[in-house]
């Protein structure tokens, strides 16, 4: 049986060790707080004047258009977006990932730690090559999958290839869109109407149906709708109709997917400065003053939507599904 002195000595050693460990922990916490205090504070951004304001040079491009040929060139976050690991290890497929909102999402996802596959039309290859390089520069896997979303077979193959080449798929961003202005319904051909619906809503249906069986619990589907779903432009009748359909589709699908553990949401942008606008989406007069009608008096830049797409994909948004997030420069639409 141990004597009392031995017992007391053992207790003293244990208590001394606990105290020392506490001091180490406290010192570590102190250093962490000091490091946080020493880190540069992000600068405040004046939302009204942070980005280019109209008038813009009058310009047009053949559809589908290239961001690299726009003046001013859109900001997708190439030099400004900073990640913090919010999507570490995730696997994302983004349609229309070569330019505009899809490009901003692709850059942000990669810098948040995700591997990314982008879908785009072959004519958009110059923009797509830049995005692939940016994803790889972030240290993530990049997969380029050109093709035409109006084709059902391509949509199915696209999802299968993204899943295989990324080693999984847990984020689907159905973003690619077709927009062509017409003054009257009498000017909208059957071919245009069909192309718009196939690109904007049929593709969302095809991609979702192909992706859902492959997605794990915790996955996310994000669609790009538009303020035109709620306040349709008179010159974008067919486009507005598809965006309204996307809102209804997302809200319905979200209810179906709850018990699969997959969240489904949409983003409803207002006027954003993308190649979609200068390749037939708006009149040249509208391009000249694009975004001037908003309370902010300017168009949005794609990088300004990147945090919304990150949020809707991130696990922190676990209670957000069936929602439509608006970003329209103060119009209150969406």
Catalytic residues: 239
Task: Tell me the pLDDT of the chain (334 aa) as tens digits.
Answer: 445 454 444 444 544 444 444 444 444 544 544 444 444 667 899 999 999 999 999 999 999 999 999 999 999 999 999 999 999 999 999 999 999 999 999 999 999 999 999 999 999 999 999 999 999 999 999 999 999 999 999 999 999 999 999 999 999 999 999 999 999 999 999 999 999 999 999 999 999 999 999 999 999 999 999 999 999 999 999 999 999 999 999 999 999 999 999 999 999 999 999 999 999 999 989 999 999 999 999 999 999 999 999 999 999 999 999 999 999 999 987 6
In the Cβ-directed half-sphere of 7, how many Cα atoms lie within 13 Å? 4
**Which of 9, 54, 29, 50 has its CA nearest to residue 271?**
54
Q: Are 257 and 316 in contact (CB under 8 A)?
A: no
- In b/e form, how buried is each residue of 198-233, taking b as 16+ CB within 10 angstroms? bbbbbbbebbbebbbebbeeebbbbbbbbbbbbebb
Q: Return the structure tokens found at 29.
A: 């916490």
- Domains of the chain by start residue, with CATH: 88-327 (3.40.50.720)
Please state whether 85 falls in left (phi above 0), alpha (psi between -120 and 50) or beta. left
Q: What pLDDT does residue 42 have?
A: 74
- The rounded distance, in Å, linking the Cα atoms of 263 and 258 is 7
Strand partners, 115: 91
Residue 43: per-residue pLDDT: 84
Measured at the CA of 104, the angle between CA 99 and CA 109, to 5 degrees, comes to: 125
pLDDT at residue number 40: 61
pLDDT for residue 230: 96
C-alpha pair distances (Å), 222 with each of 91, 288, 326 = 14, 31, 13
Length, in residues, of the chain: 334
Asked whether 167 and 190 are in contact (CB, 8 A), the reply is no
Instruction: Supply the pTM of this predicted model.
Output: 0.87
């Amino acid at each position: 049986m141990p004597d009392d002195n031995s017992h007391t000595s053992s207790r003293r050693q244990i208590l001394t060790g606990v105290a020392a460990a506490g001091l180490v922990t406290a010192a570590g916490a102190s250093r962490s707080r000091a490091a946080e205090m020493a880190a540069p504070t992000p600068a405040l951004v004046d939302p009204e004047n942070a980005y280019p304001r109209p008038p813009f040079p009058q310009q047009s491009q053949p559809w589908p258009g290239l961001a690299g040929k726009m003046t001013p060139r859109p900001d997708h976050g190439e030099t400004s977006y900073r990640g913090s690991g919010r999507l570490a290890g995730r696997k994302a497929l983004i349609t229309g990932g070569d330019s505009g909102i899809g490009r901003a999402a692709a850059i942000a996802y990669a810098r948040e730690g995700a591997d990314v596959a982008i879908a785009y039309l072959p004519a958009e290859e110059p923009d797509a090559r830049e995005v692939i390089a940016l994803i790889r520069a972030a240290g993530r896997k990049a997969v380029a999958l050109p093709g035409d979303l109006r084709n059902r077979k391509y949509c199915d193959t696209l999802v299968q290839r993204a899943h295989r080449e990324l080693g999984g798929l847990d984020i689907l961003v159905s973003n690619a869109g077709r927009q062509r202005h017409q003054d009257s319904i009498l000017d909208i051909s059957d071919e245009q109407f069909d192309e718009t619906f196939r690109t904007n809503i049929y593709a969302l249906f095809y991609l979702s149906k192909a992706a859902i069986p492959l997605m794990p619990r915790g996955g996310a589907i994000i669609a790009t709708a538009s303020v035109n779903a709620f306040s349709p432009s008179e010159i974008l009748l067919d486009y507005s109709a598809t965006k309204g359909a996307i809102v209804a589709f997302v809200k319905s699908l979200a209810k179906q997917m709850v018990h699969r553990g997959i969240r489904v949401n949409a983003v409803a942008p207002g006027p954003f400065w993308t190649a979609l606008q200068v390749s037939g989406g708006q009149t040249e007069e509208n391009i000249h003053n694009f975004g001037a009608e908003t309370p902010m008096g300017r168009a949005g830049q794609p990088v300004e939507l990147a945090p919304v797409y990150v949020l809707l994909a991130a696990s922190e948004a676990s209670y957000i599904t069936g929602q439509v997030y608006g970003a329209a420069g103060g119009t209150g639409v969406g």
